[in-house]
Every structure is written in C-alpha cells, then in structure tokens.
C-alpha cells in the first residue's frame, strides 16, 4: 500500500479517534477532545474531517468528497485523490452510491440513508466562542445547559435588523440538550440535520474536537416563538437544471455585471439534467 | 410569625492569619432590608460573598428558604442549582455596573438576558418587559437599543438594577450600589432603590460603608469589625444610640453637612 498504513493513519491513532467518535455518538452534540495528528495538508483544509474519515473508512467503502457542494473543486479533488491513493477505496461523485461522504460546508440535496455516514470538516467547533472567549467558561455553560447568552445574540439581531442575521453556522440544539455548531453550512441546510437517517460526524483538526449527531436525533435551530427560524434562499431557479428548491451559488460570468445562479450541489444538478435529457429523448 | 428567608449560622472564614469571618450569625426576613456596615477590611464583602454562595466558609452554614418553605443549604447545593437560584430567586447588584453588564450588548438585551436564561423564548414579550423595566428605572425607552457604553455612570447603575430585577427576585444582594457616583446621582439612585424595594417587597442585603445610605434604606443594621458582628439592631436604634465603642466611633465620624 505505497508504504502507508491503510487510510494513512496508524492503527493506534485510528483506535483513539474511534473511541472519541463512540463517546461523541453516545452524547449527541457534546464536543469530545481527541489527539489530532499532523496531516499532510494545512489546518483549515479539512484535517479534522480527514482524520475522522480515515478512522471509519473500510476497504469496501465508497467515498465522496464535496467542497461547498461541488465535487470538482480543489479541496474535494485532493482529499478524494488522497484516500484513493492511501486507502485504495473506490471513490464516486454520486451521492446515492457513496457510503461515506466527507463535506465542507454543505449537506447534499439528495436525502441521505441509514447506510451512509456524513463527515463534516469543522473550523470552529465551539458555538459560543464568538460570544464568550474563555474555554473554561463555555465548558461550564455547556455543562449547566446555560445557553441564554446565545439567545441574547439572536435578540440583538432582531432588535437591530428585524431578523436573525446568521446565514451560516446557525446554532442548533441537539437532542434538546447541547448547543452545537453545525460547521459553516448555510442556514438553509440546518433543517436537513433534524432526524437524518445517516450518522453525522464532525471533526475539528486544529481545535482537536470530535462531535456527532446519531441517526434520527432531533436538531433544532435556535429561535424565538414569535420569530421562528426561516429558510433563506436566493429567489431564483437554477440556470442549468431549473431547480427551485436547491441551494444556489451566484456565479459572476463576465466583468459587465452578468451573473447566473446555479445549484451548489453539482451532483444533484447533473442528476436532474440527466433526467431531463432522458425525458426529452 | 414568618420564617427567615436566609439564615447564617456561625460562619467562619480565615485568609491565612486574618480572620475574615469570626463566628458570624444572622437572619433575614422576607421584605426586609438589612445593611451590613463597617470600615474597609472588616469582612462586609466577604460576608456577602459567603451568603450568596460564591465563596465557601471554613465552617458554618447558610440556609435559604424557598417559596415552598423548604430549606436549602447554599453551600451544599450543586453548581446548577446555585446558578438557577442566582438567576431566578436571587439577584446581585455589583458596585461597578461594568462588571455585571454586558457592555457589547444593547440595554434591552442586558435586561432580557435573565429572562432568556430562564427560558423565555418570546421576543415581543422580552422586549416589552425590557421597556417596562427601563421605564421603572427612569431610562428613556428610546435608548433600549443603545449600547451601555454610551450611558452615564448613574444610568449604568440603574440599568444594572433593571437587569437584576427583571425576573422578580425575592432576595437581592447589593455591594456598595452607590459607590463611585457623585452625590446628587447617589441621592436619586437611593430614592429609586427605596421605592422599588418597598413596591416589590424585596428582601435586600446591602453592604455599604456609608452610614447615610444605611439609614435611608435599611430597616435593620449589622455593624462589622475585624470579621465580627459587634452590634446589630434596628437602624435608627443603632445609629441614634450606639452601644459598642466602635459603632459610636463610626457614627460620630460622619461629617455633618
């Protein structure tokens, strides 16, 4: 295997990570510290996600990697190639065919099943970090489920702007107990996490934390009774496949102000276009 | 006969060779304002910290009676219960409002924080309560979205009081609430505290070195010196006819304007 152990990490390290994952699954939403290793890519490029993927990957797994929903961007391509090189596993871009999906900042549009695992790359695992700089204090707030401060932030948003202005990394309550950062996925994706049949694992390499949402766990975005959480989406249809319910990227097409809106999930978009061509012929 | 709200039995606390609390016992009844007076270093603030559960005594007990009349040992309860008590039944007014307020959060957010910590999830309701409280402490409702750093010292202290009282506590601890304010602002603040206390039927434990503040607000007074309670009784009685030599000194050293 090219002089590397299967999936790059040595077996004791994988075991240590699996232990952290088991603990994380047992306490949904709770951040479990782990001994993150140096990986052959820089912090911020998915070192946490890569380690989680390496620890759970088996020889029969089929891996898909997305970066902002796309299979063909640098981060996705290089991580996919990394694992096909050091683990020899089959890779795919099709959401339906994958057993493990590592993602940066999106949840695929195609609903996931109980046979799949979604691995998130997390830059900042602590949802309270921006409000309370002390780690010791946030730990205590989690221990006492003392989350009034997060609501103060939402209150301030509504008081100043009339609505909650958090558009990504929207704080969620997991299983009615732990406040969790869903990683910088758009607020649009937050509701997909609720009672998802697939196991969701979160790895933060620089911050050395792993957390998890087990299948069919309730995940609720924080809100007020009279200002309920609402989805925000660009008011357009995808220029390529015409989807009106998917999350859109705005793409600038020239230097004269032209732009188009396309699905951020490239596999979903390609799938829909394939179906349309099938219908036409 | 009603039962005491808070009782302390034989509290002792030593910092090295200094006796900060030397066999201190006291009781506070519902709706009563008790002043703890004494010079700097006499153990007033230490006593307040021990009574409110933030410092542990070496020996002795602090008992709190909840609305259902059940007694709780303040130092034996777990951190979650103590924190819950501090944000529901109890309140704490600090000498420096900047220690208690969130300076980066608007006035309304500051008043609403305790409500949200208690689980209030209705924005309109929180905002209405915040407006009501700002009015009660005589802060213009139009300043609800302003940051505390744009407020004057007296306004900050009034904002802290609004924030503390928003959840209708039964017992409020105050540590030199008028310290650091100029005399006319002090007088207005004292007036406000006095009217709020009598209207809401609050029980207050007030730490102050200012005899005038004690005379104006407190029904009962407790004089401390070197960690000991040297004299206690009705405020007027103690201040008009002090028995202990130290109290006599304290009363006679107040400047007459």
User: Which region holds residue B35: left if phi is over 0, alpha if psi is between -120 and 50, else beta?
Assistant: beta
Q: What's A44's domain CATH number?
A: 3.40.50.11310
Based on the fold, state whether residues A216 and A123 are members of the same structural domain: yes
Based on the fold, state whether residues A48 and A103 are members of the same structural domain: yes
Report the number of secondary-structure helices (H) and strands (E) in chain A: 6, 12
Is B62 within 8 Å of B7 (Cβ atoms)? yes
Q: Does B105 touch chain A (CB under 8 A)?
A: yes
Q: Does B117 touch chain A (CB under 8 A)?
A: yes
pLDDT of residue A2: 63
Q: What is the ipTM of this complex?
A: 0.85
Based on the fold, state whether residues A239 and A216 are members of the same structural domain: no
Per the CB < 8 Å rule, is A156 touching B106? yes
Based on the fold, state whether residues A252 and A135 are members of the same structural domain: no
Per the domain annotation, does A166 fall within a domain? yes
Per residue in A230-256, pLDDT tens?
988 889 999 999 999 999 999 999 999
Per residue in B10-25, pLDDT tens?
999 999 999 999 999 9
Taking CA–CA distances from A160, the nearest residue in chain B reads: B145
In total, the C-beta contacts within 8 angstroms joining chain A to chain B are 56
Per the domain annotation, does A34 fall within a domain? yes
Query: Which string of DSSP letters, residue by residue, matches B174-202?
Result: EESTTTTS-HHHHHHHHHHHHHHHHHHT-
Distance of CA B18 to the CA centre of its chain: 25
pLDDT of residue B74: 93
Window from A49-53, A243-247, A275-279 with minimum mean pLDDT: A275-279
List of residues 6+ apart from B101 with CB closer than 8 A: B110, B148, B156, B159, B160, B163
Based on the fold, state whether residues A90 and A190 are members of the same structural domain: yes
Name the residue range of residue A117's domain.
Answer: 11-220
Per residue in A193-228, pLDDT tens?
999 999 999 999 999 999 999 999 999 999 999 999
Is B34 within 8 Å of B7 (Cβ atoms)? no
Distance to chain B for A263, nearest Cα, Å = 34
User: For the stretch B36-56, what's the b/e string if a residue is b when 16 or more beta carbons lie within 10 angstroms of its beta carbon?
Assistant: bbbeeebbbbbbbbbbbbebe
CATH of domain B6-89+169-252: 3.40.50.300
pTM (2 decimals)? Answer: 0.87
Based on the fold, state whether residues A76 and A101 are members of the same structural domain: yes
Domain count, chain A: 2
pLDDT of residue A73: 92
Per the domain annotation, does A67 fall within a domain? yes
pLDDT at A120 over 80: yes
Backbone angles phi, psi at A240, to 5 degrees: -95, -45
Q: How would you classify the pairing of strands A209-213 and A199-204?
A: antiparallel
Q: Enumerate the residues of chain A whose CB falls inside 8 A of the CB of residue B105.
A: 152, 156
| Neighbouring-strand partners of residue B222 | B36, B232
Of residues B18, B64, B67, B1, the one with CA closest to residue B227: B18
Per the CB < 8 Å rule, is B117 touching A148? yes
Instruction: Report the first-to-last Cα separation within chain A, whole angstroms.
Output: 45
What span, in angstroms and rounded, lies between the C-alpha atoms of B3 and B17?
A: 36
pLDDT of residue B84: 87
Per the domain annotation, does A6 fall within a domain? no
Per the domain annotation, does A1 fall within a domain? no
Contacts 24+ apart (CB under 8 A), B126-132: B126/A155, B126/A224, B127/A159, B129/B166, B130/B162, B130/B166
Distance to chain B for A19, nearest Cα, Å = 29
Per the domain annotation, does A86 fall within a domain? yes
Of residues A222, A214, A246, the one with CA closest to residue A154: A222
pLDDT of residue B254: 77
Q: Where are the domains of chain B?
A: 6-89+169-252, 101-167
**Tokens 């309550």 identify what position?**
A173
Across all residues in chain A, what is the average pLDDT? 94
Q: Does B128 touch chain A (CB under 8 A)?
A: no
pLDDT of residue B186: 86
Based on the fold, state whether residues A215 and A259 are members of the same structural domain: no
Based on the fold, state whether residues A256 and A162 are members of the same structural domain: no
Instruction: Give alpha helix (H) positions in B103-232.
Output: 107-117, 123-136, 153-165, 183-200, 211-217
Based on the fold, state whether residues A174 and A123 are members of the same structural domain: yes
Domain termination residue (choose one: A168, A196, A220) = A220
Per the domain annotation, does A216 fall within a domain? yes
Per the domain annotation, does A65 fall within a domain? yes
Based on the fold, state whether residues A172 and A133 are members of the same structural domain: yes
Based on the fold, state whether residues A187 and A275 are members of the same structural domain: no
Structure tokens at B32: 């009563």
Residue A161, CA atoms < 13 Å, CB-side half-sphere: 8
Average pLDDT estimate for A143-163:
93
pLDDT per residue rounded down to tens, chain B (257 residues):
688 999 999 999 999 999 999 999 999 999 899 999 988 888 999 999 999 999 999 999 999 999 888 999 999 998 888 988 998 899 999 989 999 999 989 999 999 999 998 889 999 999 999 999 999 999 999 999 999 999 999 999 999 999 999 989 999 999 999 887 888 888 888 999 999 988 998 999 999 988 888 998 999 999 999 999 999 999 999 999 999 999 998 888 876 65
pLDDT of residue A262: 95
Per residue in A165-190, pLDDT tens?
999 999 999 999 999 999 999 999 99
Based on the fold, state whether residues A170 and A260 are members of the same structural domain: no
Domain termination residue (choose one: A220, A250, A271) = A220
Percent of chain A with pLDDT over 70: 99
**Tokens 């276009």 identify what position?**
A273
What span, in angstroms and rounded, lies between the C-alpha atoms of A260 and A240?
A: 9
Backbone angles phi, psi at B224, to 5 degrees: -115, 145
Backbone angles phi, psi at A231, to 5 degrees: -75, 140
SS (H, E, C) B32-47: CEEEEECCCCCCHHHH
């Amino acid at each position: 295997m090219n002089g590397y152990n299967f999936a790059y990490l040595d077996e004791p390290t994988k075991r240590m990570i699996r232990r952290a994952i088991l603990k994380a699954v047992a306490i949904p939403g709770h951040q479990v510290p782990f001994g993150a290793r140096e990986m052959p890519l820089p912090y911020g490029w998915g070192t946490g996600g890569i380690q989680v993927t390496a620890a759970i990957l088996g020889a029969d797994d089929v891996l898909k990697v997305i970066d902002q929903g796309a299979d063909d961007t640098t981060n996705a391509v290089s991580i996919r190639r990394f694992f096909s090189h050091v683990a020899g596993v089959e890779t795919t871009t099709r959401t339906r065919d994958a057993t493990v999906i590592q993602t940066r900042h999106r949840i695929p549009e195609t609903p996931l099943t109980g046979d799949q695992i979604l691995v998130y790359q997390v830059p900042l695992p602590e949802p309270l970090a921006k409000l309370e700089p002390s780690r010791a204090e946030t730990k205590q707030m989690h221990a006492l489920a003392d989350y009034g401060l997060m609501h103060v932030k939402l209150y301030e948003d509504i008081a100043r702007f009339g609505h909650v202005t958090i558009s990504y990394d929207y704080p969620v309550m997991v299983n009615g107990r732990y406040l969790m950062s869903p990683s910088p996925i758009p607020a649009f994706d937050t509701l997909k996490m609720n009672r998802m049949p697939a196991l969701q694992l979160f790895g933060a390499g620089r911050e050395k934390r792993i957390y998890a949402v087990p299948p069919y766990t309730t995940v609720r975005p924080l809100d007020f009774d009279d200002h309920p959480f609402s989805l925000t989406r660009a008011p357009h249809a995808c220029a390529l496949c015409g989807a009106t319910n998917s999350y859109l990227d705005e793409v600038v097409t020239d230097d004269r102000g032209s732009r188009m809106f396309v699905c951020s999930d490239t596999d979903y978009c390609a799938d829909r276009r394939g179906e349309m061509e099938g219908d036409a012929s | 006969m009603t039962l005491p709200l808070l009782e302390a039995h034989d509290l002792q606390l030593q910092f090295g060779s200094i006796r900060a609390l030397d066999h201190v016992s006291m009781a506070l009844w519902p709706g009563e304002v008790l002043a703890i007076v004494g010079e700097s270093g006499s153990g007033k603030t230490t006593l307040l910290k021990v009574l409110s559960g933030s410092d542990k005594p070496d020996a002795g007990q602090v008992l709190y009676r909840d609305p259902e009349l059940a007694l709780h040992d303040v130092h034996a309860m777990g951190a979650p219960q103590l924190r819950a008590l501090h944000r529901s039944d109890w309140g704490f007014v600090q000498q420096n409002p900047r220690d208690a307020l969130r300076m980066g959060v608007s006035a309304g957010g500051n008043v609403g924080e305790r409500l949200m910590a208690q689980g209030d999830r209705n924005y309109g309701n929180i905002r209405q309560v915040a407006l009501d409280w700002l009015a009660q402490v005589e802060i213009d409702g139009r300043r609800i979205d302003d940051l505390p750093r744009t407020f004057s010292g007296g306004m900050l202290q009034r904002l802290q009081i609004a924030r503390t009282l928003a959840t209708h506590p039964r017992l409020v601890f105050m540590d030199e609430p008028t310290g650091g304010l100029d005399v006319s602002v002090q007088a207005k603040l004292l007036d406000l505290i006095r009217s709020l206390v009598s209207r809401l039927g609050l029980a207050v434990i007030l730490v102050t070195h200012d005899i005038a503040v004690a005379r104006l607000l407190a029904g009962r007074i407790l004089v401390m010196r070197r960690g000991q309670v040297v004299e206690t009784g009705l405020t007027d009685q103690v201040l008009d006819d002090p028995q202990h030599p130290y109290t006599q000194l304290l009363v006679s050293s107040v400047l007459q304007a």
